[in-house]
Structure 1
Amino acid sequence: MSVMFIATCVALALCFAVGAAAKVSARRPLRGNDTLVSAQGRFELGLFSPAGSSDGRFYLGIWYKNIPGQTVVWVGNRATPLSGVASAELRVSAADGNLELVGPTNASALPVVVWSSNLSSSSLSSSRGSNTVEIRDDGNLVLVDGGNSSTVLWQSFDHPTDTHVPGAWIGENKLTGEYQTLTSWRNAQDPAPGMFTDMIDPNGTSEFFYMWNRSRAYWRSGVWTWKVFERLPDATGSITSYEETSAYRRLTNVITDNTTITRLVLDLTGQAKLYIWVPARQSWQLFWTAPTMQCQVYALCGAFGICDQRSQLPCRCPPGFAPVSEGDWTLSDWSGGCRRSSQLTCAHNGSTADGFLALPNVKLPDESVSVAVAQSKAECESTCQKNCSCQAYAFSAGDVGCTVWYGEIRNLEQLYVDSDVSGSDLHLRLSEAGLQVLHGSDRKKRGRKLWLVFGIPLVGVVALGASVILAWRILLARRRRLARMENEKGSSLAVYSYGDLRAATKNFSERLGGGSFGSVYRGVLKRHKGDNIIQVQVAVKKLESLGGRQGDKQFRAEVNTLGLIQHVNLVRLFGFCPSHDEKMLVYEYMARGSLDRYLFGSGASRSWRERYNIMVGVARGLAYLHHGCQECIIHCDIKPENILLDEDMSPRIADFGMAKLVGRDFSRALTTMRGTIGYLAPEWISGQPISAKADVYSFGMVLFELISGRRNSEGYSAVEAAGSGSSDSWTFFPVWALGKVMEGEVGAVADPRLRGNVSPEELERACWVACWCIRTKRGNGRPWRRSFRRWRAPSRFTRRQFRGLCSTSSRSCNPPGAATQIFLYIVQVMRKHVCRLKLPIQTRRSSHRYVLLSKHVWKSSDDIRK
C-alpha cells in the first residue's frame, strides 16, 4: 500500500511539473498549453485566446494567476497570432540565445518564428545557449544571461503593451532612443496595436501624453512637481515616481502594499482606467479615468463619425452614412469611421448635383479653413459646392464667418442645450441620391396635396387640441401647488420647484464646486423672517448621481429626516426640490468656503487656537451624527473639502447624510465605495462592514493635517528636507508623526508656520487622539493602516499623556472640557460598551483606576465602591 501511495504522489508531482514550469531554457521549452508561473504564484505566462474570440488565434501573454477571469497584462506577439497551440513552443534559441515563440500561422502551417526578443549578437555573451527565462512576482518576464544570473538581457517591462502594473515603467531609453509606451488593443478580441498611445513627451519634458495615432495629444498628465504629476493620482498600495538620468527618463510606481492589486489600462476606447482589485467582491473596482468624458478622446469615432456622450454607444454615423466595418463597430472599434452610402457626383468643372445636410448643434472639427469673402450662408454654401474637395461648411454671422472643411472630418461631437460648450450647425455634403433617400422627392409632392385636402380641418383640430392642453396644464399646475402646500405642512423644510431654484441660481451660472453626489451652485432665495421677507444666500446642490433611481416618496422621507438634524457644527438644510428628473438640496451658504482653502492655500496660515477650535467643532458634529440622531448617520467622506467655515471660523460638516442611514448596531455593510483615497479607512478595501469607526479614521487623518498644515500624501521627506538638508526616502506622514509622538518630540509634528505658538498640552492631546483614530487592532479597536502594524500602544499610559484630562489630586475629576470631549467621543466609538471601559492611569504619587461613565463624568474607583 505504501509503495502505491508513493508512486501516486510521484506521478502527481510529475503532472504538476509538466503543467507549470519554473524556468524556460534551450533544453526546457514551454510547449502547447504549459505555463510558466512566478515564484509566489502571482503571475502566469502562457498561450491564450482573447475572450469571445472564435477564429482560433492564440497569443503569448501574462495574466494574474489567482484572480478569477483571465486578466491579461502583457502580450508578446500582438500583430502575429498563432493559428494553433499543439506544435507551438516558447524557447531559448540554442543558436543566438534569444527568446523566441515558434508555431503555425495562417500563412504557414509549418512552425515558424512569430516573435522574438530580437537581441543583437553583440549584446549576448558567449554562453548564450545557456540563457534562461523566468517570470517574476511583479509580472516582469526576464531573459537572464546563462553565464551571469544577475545580468538581465531582455525584459517585458521594456516592452509594455496596454497595461501598466506597479513596478513597471513608461518612458524613454536615452541610449537606444526607444520609448516604453502603452498602446491600446485594436478591439476587444484583437490585441494588435490600436490608435491610442500613452507616451512621454518626445520634446524632453516630464509630461505624459495620451495620443491619437501618435500625432495628436488629447490628454496631458501635467509636469512632474518633484512629488506628484499635476493630474495623475497615486493608486492605493503604490506611489507614483518619476526618474531621469543620463540613461533614461521614466514614470514608475513604487509598491508600498503587496496586498493591494492595481493596474492602469489604456482602454481600446482611448481612456486610461485605473482599477483596484476588491477581494470581498471578487471583482475589479474602477477608481480613476482620464479623460473623464468618453467624447474627450480625439477621433474616437473615426472619419465622419459623431460622438454622443448621452447615447448608450458613444459613436454613430450621420444620416446618409454607414460604418466602414460593421464587425469592428460591434467590437467597440470605431476608429474606421463612416462613409457615404452613395458617392458624390461632383465634377471638376464645378457642376454638381450634390447638396448639404444640416447637423444641428455639434462641436465643429479643428482642421478647418476660413473663407472671409463669403458674406452670407448662401455664398458660403456656393463656395464649398464649387470645390469637389470640400466636405462640409459652417456659417456664423459673427466674426467667424464662413468655415469649410476639406478631406476627412474627425472629432465631431453632438452637443445639447445644457452642454458646457455651445455648438454650431454643420452642413455635411451628400449626393443628390443620398438626399433623396433621406427626404424623398415623392414625399414632398404628396405632402403638398395632403396639406390642401387636410390643412383647414387640421388647423381646427390643432386649435382645439391646444385649448385642451392649456386647460389641462392649468389644472395640473393647480393640483401641484395644492400638493406642494400639503407636503409643506408635514415637513420642516421648504419645498421648491425646479423653476424656483433655476431662477435663484441664474440658470445655475455660478458653480461653487462639486463632489461625489453632484455640483453646488450659489443662489439667492427669499425667506420669511417673522412678518418680513428677506433675501438670503444659499448653496444649491444638484444630486446628479441619484437621478430617477429613488422614488419621490422615499426621497421626501429621507430629506425630511435630514431637515430635523440641526447642530452648530453641521451645515443647515433649508429645503429641497423633489423633481423626478432634477433632485436638489438647498443649504445655507458658507462665505469662507472649505477648510482646505485656508489650510493648504497659497499664503494660508491659521493660528493654533483656530485650528484647535476646528478640531473640537468637527468632533462635536461627528458625535451628534453618530449618537445624537434617531438613527446613526455615517458620513463616509470626512476630509477638509467637506468641512466648511462660517464667518466666525466655526467648522460646519457638509454632505452629511448623503451616504446611507444605518442602524445603531453598525452591523449593516455599505456596498458602495465612497470617500477619498488618503482619508478612506481600510475597511473600504478589505470588504469589512462599514461603521462609524470609518469616520473616526478619516477624522484622525484630518487631525494630522490640521496639526501639520500639510497634506498627509506629501510624505515625510519634505519635512526632513526643511530641517536637515535632503532625504531620498519617502514615508507616509502619519507614520513619521507617530514615531515623533512616541519619542516625545511632539513639537516636531506641528506646522512650522505656527513658529512654536502652540499650546504644548493641546498639541500633545491632539496628536494622541489622531494616533488613536487611525489605530489598527483586531476586535473593537479603531483599525490601523497596514503601515502602523508594527507599532504597539503602551499598555499603561503615563500622566504626561493624559495631562489635563482630569485631576488626580482629588477623588473626582472635573467635568470634561471641549478638548476632553474629543477624547471621550473617540474612545466611545472605539469601544462597544462605553460604561464597561476602564482606563488605567499611572501617576507619580499613586495609581488610581478610573471608570468612564455614560454621562462623561470621571470618578475614581474608590468613589464607585462607596
Structure 2
Amino acid sequence: MAIWTTLKAVMQFLIILFLAFFVAAQTPTAQVSTPTSWTNNISLPSVSYSRIILSDGNASAALFENKTISSESMVRGSVCAFYPVDYLKDDQFDPDSARFFLVVALLETSGYNFPDLSNYGLSNIWSANRNKPVRENATLQLLVDGNLELRDADGSLVWSTNTSNKSVAGMKMMDTGNLVLHDTNNNIVWQSFDHPTDTLVPGQKLVRGQKLVSSVSEYNISEGNFYLSVTSHGLLGFYQANVPQMYLKFFDHVWNLESIELKYSGSEDIALYVNAPEFGALGSPWLSASVSVRSRPGLFLKFESNGHLILHDGSMTVAHNMLTSHIPECDYPTICNDYEFCSNGMCLCPPGLAQGEPELAQGESESGCPAINATTCENLEYHSLLTYQNVYHFSYIDDGAAALKGTDIESCKKECLKNCSCKVALFRHDYNSLLGDCFLPSPVLTLIYDEYRRRYYKSSYAFIKTLNNKENGRGSSRSKIVAGSTIGAFFLVGLAIGFWFVFLRNKREEEEYMEDNFDKLSGMLMRFTYQELIVATGDFKEKLGEGGFGSVFEGTLQKGDKIAVKRLDSIGQGKKEFLAEVETIGSIHHVNLVRLIGFCAEKVHRLLVYEFMCNGSLDKWIFSKEPLLRPPLNWEIRMTIVLNIAKGLAYLHEECRQRIVHLDIKPQNILLDEELRAKISDFGLCKLIDRDQSQVVTTMRGTPGYLAPELFSSVITEKADVYSFGIVVMEVVCGRKNMDRSQPEECMHLLPIFMRKAEEDQLVDMVDRSNQDMQFHYSEAVQMMKVAIWCLQSDYKRRPSMSDVVKALEGNLDVEAYLDYTIHNPIKVAAARREAEQGTATPILPSLLSGPR
C-alpha cells in the first residue's frame, strides 16, 4: 500500500512538472514593455551641438546628475547621440539645414570645462547610418517587437538592427563604448561591437570577413576610399578602385587568422593582438604602443581617411601611429598627388624629359607640378611614354596585381600604349633577368621614387603616357575651316548645283564617318579582316546563340585562343548598335564584364570578337531541361553569380566617366566562364548618361518581361537596369522564367505570384523546389529575394543603387523595410506621367484598362 501511495505521489509530481513546462513554453518571450522613442530636436540634452540619447554611468554623472568635479579630474564616458555632420568644419550650427549621424562617441571633459557643455570633447567610434545622414526631427525607436529603427523626418527607414522577435527587453550604453540590446536576463542580443565602422576600442574584435572602412575626411564620416580587412591570409589594406589596390599587408605569415583585437598588454602598454589557432586562446601581441595610465580609459584605434591606423588618446591627442615602423610614409597611396613621386616623405615632380631625375614640387599645376599632357582615347598613334628609372608602386606587395607576368619591358610598354585606360605602366624585374612583371594601376595615385632601392630588391621602371603631338588638333580645325569655305563657295555658284553637291557629299561623308570612327577604335582594339574571321570560325560553322541583331559563333585564333564572334545580320538596323557596343565595351574594363577583343568593319560586314565564355549564358543553366548536361546550380554558385552581376552593373552606373545604362539585362546576356563566374555581355542597346544628368529621354528599348515600367514613357535612368536585375534575381532563386507559357494560365506570369507571396510573408514557397541545396539554404535565399523586391519597386526613385545592392547582398546593408508589392500597368504609368508633365487629362482607352495588372 505504501508503495502504491509513493508511486501515486510521484505521478502527480510529474504531471504538475509537465504542466509547468507546457505553460512556460506557451508563454510569449518577454519583449520591450513599452516602445521607447527619441526625436532629434532641441528637447534632447545637447553637447557640442550633438543631441544625447543614452549615456553610460560616467557620462550621466558628468552631464545630468550635477555631481561636483574637481578641476584636476578628467571625466570620460560613452554616449549615443545624434551628431551634426559639418559643424566642426564650419564652426556653425543651423538646425534647419543640419544633417545628423546616429553615433556612439567617447565623451571627455575636465573640471576646467564643467559645466560648460559646449566644451566637452566627443570622439565618434561607431555610426549606424554612416552613408545616410538624417534631418531635424528624425526618430530613433525601440519597438515593442525588439527592433531598433532609425527613421528620417519624413518617416523613411534609414537603419535597423533587424532584431524583431529576438527577446529584446531593453537598450543600454556600456562604458566600453558598446551600444547593446539585451534580454530579460541581461544577455546581449545585438551590439554595435559586432558592426565596426572605422574604429576599434579595447576589448572589441575585428573578425575575419569584417572591415574597417575609412571616413571621407575628418569632418565627413561617410565611407571613404580605404578599407582594412581581416582575411585568413592576413590583415590587408586596400585603396578602393574599380579593382581594389592593396597597399598594406600584415600577419600574412599567420596561419588561418581569425581576428584582431586591441588589448592592454601591461600597465603601460597596449597592443593589437592577433587571434589564430596557433596562438591559443590569448592570442599574440603585435604593433605595441606605450601609453600613460591617465590616457588608458579614452584610448581607441581609428582607421583614418588617409589609410593610417592611429591610436588616439581620447579626443585630445594622437597617441601613436601604429604602422609608422612597418610602413614607410611613401607607401601610402595618397601621400602625394596623382602621378607625383614620393621620396623620403617629400613629393617630387616627374620631369618632362625621359631618364631625368625628379624635382621638388613647384610650378604651374594645382598640385605644384607642371601638368603632363592629358591623353584621350582618340588618336592613340600620337601617344608616347616618358621613362623613369627607380620608380616603384605601393601595389607591388600584392602578388596578384600584375597585369602581365614573366614578360619583357617592351611588351609592357606596348600593352599600355594599346590600352586606352592605361595612364602609367610599371615594369619590375630581378637584376639578373630581363623578364619581370608589368603593372597597369588604375587609378595611379602616388608613385615612389627610391634612387638607392633601400626597400626594394628588384629594379623598376615607370612609363607615363603623354600626348606628344599638339599640332594635330589645330590642323584638324584648320581643315574644317577650309572645307566649310569650299562648301560655301559651291553654294554661291548655284542653288541647284549646291543641293546636288550636298546630297552626294553627305552620302559619302556618312560612309567616311563610319570608317573614321572605326579607325579611331582600332587604336584600342584589334581590327580583324573578314577573311580572318571566316578562317577562325570555320566559315561560321558553330553557332553559340542568336540575338536581336545577329548571331554568335565559336572560333579559334591562329595562336590557339578561343573566341566568340558576333555577326550583325542586319546592318541597316544594327549599325548604331554596333558602334555603341564597340565604343562602350572597348573603353571599359571590369572582371564582371565580357571583354571585347576586337572587331571587323569591312564593307557591309560588321562583327565583334569577344573572349570565349565556355559555359555559355545563364538561362541555359537556371532553366535547363538537361540535368545530366548542365547539373543544377547550388546556392553558393547562384549567390556568386548574382553578386557578380550586381558588381558589374555598379561599375557601369557609378564608376565610369559617363553612367552606362545597359537596358537589356536578362539571363541570355549573362555569360559564365570556366569557373561559373558571371559576366555581363551585349551592350548593343546601352545608353550613356552624363554625370550632371538625372535622366534621359529616348525610344523604348529592351526585352519584354525585363522592362522597367518607366521605360514605357521613354524616361531612362540607371534604375531601369536595377529593375531588370531584380527580375533576373527572381528567376535565379525561383529556378523558372518570369514568363513561362508551359505553365497553367494562372501561373504563367511569375512576378505577380512572387509579389503576392512576399506580401503574405511566404517567400520560402518560391525557392527552387527542384534543388535540394537551395531548399537547405532557404533562409539566405529569402533574404536575396527581398533584395530583388527592393529592386522591383514600381517607383524607380525607391529602388536602390547597384552599389547598395552589392552591400545588401554582402550583408553590409539592410533592405528597405517598407516595400511596395503592387505591380502597376506600365502603359497606364506612362500615360499618368505624361499627363502630369503636360498638365493634361487624356482619357485612358478601355483597351489599356483591360491590360495586365
What is the TM-score of this pair, normalised by structure 1? 0.31
Could you say which structure has the larger radius of gyration? Answer: 1
